[in-house]
Structure 1
Amino acid sequence: MGNWINKEPPPPMVLVPPLFDFPPLAARTRMLESSYNVLFGKLAMKCLFEDYFEEARQFSTRIMLKPIDDPHVDLVATISGPLDHKPEEKIIGNALFRWQSDIDDPHTFMDLLVSNCDRILQLRSSAYYSKYGVGAFGIFPLLMKKRVSSDDYGVLGLRYGSANLSFGATIVPFPLKDEFPKSAWFISKMGRLTAGIQYEPHYGSKDGAMYKNLMNWSCAIGYGVGSGSPLSPSFNFGLELAKSSQVKNPFEEDEIVGITNYIDFGFELRTRVDDANTSNNIPESTFQVAASWQANKNFLLKGKVGPLSSSLSLAFKSWWKPSFTFNISATRDHIVGKSGFGFGIRAENLREASYQRADPNFVMLTPNKEHQAEGIVWKIGKRPLLESDVNSENFDGLPKEMRPYEKIL
């Protein structure tokens, strides 16, 4: 009883909320992609410009569940369609079942997709051996309503990756003439500078040598400052020449003396470099600016502005098990002069949040007092990441999908 009365009050702390969606779901399947399609800030740009921006007059729902008894498997189900459903419009439903042999190795897995769209049943598999830096992957449509192109018969791929180098190629089992390989990429990293090139034969040439057609080649260069940790500010610049391009917290306890906010900002410019004839409805160039602000663990505000359209999105997340997220977005089409709303609902327990707290200097001087924060969930899972950890590049507390492995570019 005396210990309870004389209990030392909790030390002052700075709240570091968990990120809304970290790591991005796309990171789970990055070994099924060309490294060219993931690097150069493309993953971060996709999250900023696309996530939680629903199309006008559209809805989407997503459920992501992992059984407690078997963490090797999980299920992701999605349903999307128009709000004002008409007989000629279709509601799209997908279900993805994934099996992962090692829960600490997200790069070796197998999943099965069932859909009511064209690819009714599809199998995907990936195996990557980080010790040797080699991997293989495949995408196989098992049931389809109609097989038109060579892609409809599947894709096989091989890759090699190290700390500063990545190259690989994909092929189709039944390639058409001059369609070998389906794609190939080569990327090299020198310090903070990353450069890469990718070949995808989509355009023919008079002599049949598709590799001579510059429209089948893409190249990019990127410069990045900052670590792989979301708690450390970073700066990324990317320039790509792409083939066929189109253009203080009042809700916290008294001992919380501050809160970390997450702010993301991005600018994207797309323009044509050739004089090909285009439709009047397709602009020669366009740009868009986007920004997001996560005020705390529950609220996220995003917006993007461009000459074609502008959108604003607000998302609310509850950190129950499973967690629930609701978002609503408004879109203004500047071309036709109309506005529309969309909304989405998500439920998941795939990604575990790390609810982190530290003292005002981000250095935990008395880690043995962690339990003294009365009525507060100090953390979930591993020990919190502090600024000292970030500066020393100690990323053991980061999710395995996005941890900056030394052997993978």
Structure 2
Amino acid sequence: MDLVPPVSDYPSPTAARARMSVPGYDVMFGKLSRRGLFDDYFMQRGGIDTRFVLKAKEDPRLQLAATISTSGDMEAQFRWHRDLDIPHTFVDLTASASEPMLRLRSCAYYPKYGIGAFGTFPFLMTNRVRSEDYGVMGLRYGSKNLSIGASFLPFALSGEVPYSAWLVGRRGSLSAGVQYKPLSGSKHPVPFTDPMNWNCAISYGMGSDSPLSPSLNFALELVRNTQLVASFYRNHVVGCTEGNTEYDFISLTNSIDLGLELAKRLDRDKPPENANDLSFQIAACWKPNEHVLVKGKAGLSKSSFAMVLNHPIMTFLTFNVAVERDHKQGTGSYGFGFCFKDI
């Protein structure tokens, strides 16, 4: 297996290695790659974010990450995973000072059998208004061509049904799946027959054996019978050079990511005051080498630009800047981010 190291391992790979703790439907159909393209490094607007990632040299399975922002947000996460090569069995503890919260998340996954269990349990919450605020647990089975599972509420209120369930199948380059996820607080007497509680998607991907990050992917998703989302993702490697052959790494010299999302409301009811009947955004990311990343996205209401620089000598330091323009308000904002890794 060839592993391609990114400019910085935050935040996309962090989400990728924790994907077994969420329903499979939420990361299939190229969603994981598109989410990284449209979201990563665009979050530092309006301030300065500093992130520290510390790993124990004696035991690299342990990691401590902390984020401090000038806006007052502070978060720290301690993580332990069992295997360096397959980090899907893990335990992490996240503490947040901005909104007092302590969250325990755990996942046990056995690739040999394709089965796993996961759970998320928040603590120290001052306002628990929903059953999921007391915790969510789930079971899953996955193979190369099938993902199936369900999550439930261990402290559910009387009459509540399973929290969610999903089924995704794959045949060659074609993937299709459905997800049952009832609306929070829904009192429908037969929730399984309510189309508002179902999502379904179909995608066509090429260039990769993984439905999580195909080189080219086109997907259609119907969300709660009210919204149709069309998306496109393309990763193109222009050139690469061999790096550390001991670990079989390949160092990218030039690669381009392209993505597009178009969402259209299907329900005839008038949308809320701040909601749009149509949303559209397009994004592009260019990595000319292993030390520089440039990306931008444009939409009907906002446009953003970000640049990431990884110091060639002080490899533990990554700097990024993000700029956003609000077309409707005619205003702009910017922010900076610093990441200190393995110091």
Within-5 A mapping of 1:66-77: 66-77=55-66
Tell me which amino acid in the other structure corresponds to 2:279.
T
Task: Tell me the equivalent position of 1:46.
Answer: 35
Q: In structure 1, what residue type is equivalent to 2:16?
A: A
> Per the alignment, do residues 94 and 320 of structure 1 end up closer, same or farther by CA in structure 2, a change over 3 Å counting?
farther
Structure 2 Cα separation of the partners of residues 245 and 335 of structure 1: 23
Deviates more, 1:201-210 or 1:289-298: 201-210
Which residue does 2:25 correspond to in 1?
36
CA distance in 2 between counterparts of 1:206 and 1:144 reads: 25
Instruction: Give the direction of change, closer, same or farther, for the CA distance of 1:120–1:136 in structure 2 (3 Å limit).
Output: same
What is the CA–CA distance in structure 2 between the aligned matches of 1:60 and 1:134, rounded to whole Å? Answer: 38
2:260 to 240, 262, 267: 267
Q: Alpha carbons of 1:179 and 1:321: their partners in 2 closer, same or farther (altered >3 Å)?
A: farther
TM-score by length of 2: 0.85
Deviation at 1:233, TM superposition (A): 8.7
Q: Secondary structure, in 3 states, of the residue corresponding to 1:122?
A: strand
> How big is the shift at 1:276?
2.2
- Pair 1:233–1:188, CA change in 2 (3 A): closer
1:55/1:260 CA distance change after superposition, 3 Å? closer
Shift, 1:328, TM fit: 0.9
Give the TM-score, by structure 1 length.
0.72
Structure 1 residues 297 and 164: CA distance shift in structure 2, 3 A: same
User: Per the alignment, do residues 63 and 245 of structure 1 end up closer, same or farther by CA in structure 2, a change over 3 Å counting?
Assistant: farther
Separation in structure 2 between the aligned mates of residue 304 and residue 132 of structure 1, nearest angstrom: 40
CA 1:330–1:26 in 2, change beyond 3 Å: closer, same or farther?
same
Deviation of 1:346 (Å): 1.2
Three-state SS of the structure 2 residue aligned to 1:295 is strand
CA 1:127–1:321 in structure 2 vs 1: closer, same or farther (change >3 Å)?
farther
C-alpha displacement at 1:102, in angstroms? 2.3
State the shift of 1:210 in Å.
Answer: 1.5
**C-alpha distance in 1, partners of 2:194/2:184?**
7
Deviations 1:291-337 (A, max 9, x none): 01111121111111111101111111125576211111111101111
**Inter-CA distance 276–179: structure 2 relative to 1 (3 Å threshold):** farther
Q: Which runs of 5+ in 2 are unaligned?
A: 230-237, 240-251
Quickly say closer, same or farther: Cα 1:78–1:148, change in 2 above 3 A: same
* CA deviation string 1:242-270 (max 9, x = no partner): 13769899xxxxxxxxx831111111101
The match for 1:331 among 324, 328, 331 is 324
Structure 1 unaligned residues grouped into runs of 5+: 1-15, 83-90, 250-258, 351-409
Question: C-alpha offsets along residues 94-148 of structure 1, whole Å, 9 cap, x if unaligned?
Answer: 1110112222220111111111144521111110111111111111112212222
- AA matched with 2:19: R
Tell me which amino acid in the other structure corresponds to 1:76.
A
Hey, what does 1:19 align to over in structure 2?
A: 6
1: distance between equivalents of 2:81 and 2:161? 31
Which is bigger in relative contact order (C-alpha 8 A, separation at least 6)?
1
Q: Are residues 143 and 208 of structure 1, via their aligned partners in 2, closer, same or farther at CA, if it must alter by over 3 Å? A: same
In percent, how many aligned pairs have the same letter?
A: 47
Q: What secondary structure is seen at the aligned counterpart in 2 of 1:175?
A: coil
Deviations 1:149-175 (A, max 9, x none): 111110110001111111000011122
Aligned equivalent of 2:342:
349
CA contact (8 A) 1:17 1:296 kept: no
Residue of structure 2 aligned with 1:187, choices 125, 148, 168: 168
Asked which structure has the greater CA Rg, the reply is 1
CA distance in 2, matches of 1:339, 1:51: 19
Give deviations 1:189-242, integer Å, cap 9, x for gaps. Answer: 00010001001111677751122211111011111110259xx99211111111
Q: How does 1:5-404 map to 2 (within 5 A)?
A: 18-21=5-8, 24-54=13-43, 56-82=45-71, 91-118=72-99, 120-202=101-183, 208-227=189-208, 234-243=215-224, 260-319=253-312, 323-349=316-342
Aligned alpha-carbon RMSD (Å): 2.7
Q: Is the 8 A contact 1:20 1:317 kept in 2?
A: yes
Whole-angstrom CA distance in 2 between matches of 1:106 and 1:237 = 29
**Aligned residues of 1:65 and 1:74 also touching (Cα < 8 A):** yes
Matched to 1:183, the amino acid is: S
Q: Any conservation in 2 of the 1:304–1:311 contact (CA below 8 Å)?
A: yes
Which amino acid in structure 1 is aligned with residue 260 of structure 2? Answer: F
Structure 2 CA distance for partners of 1:76 and 1:203, relative to 1, 3 Å = closer
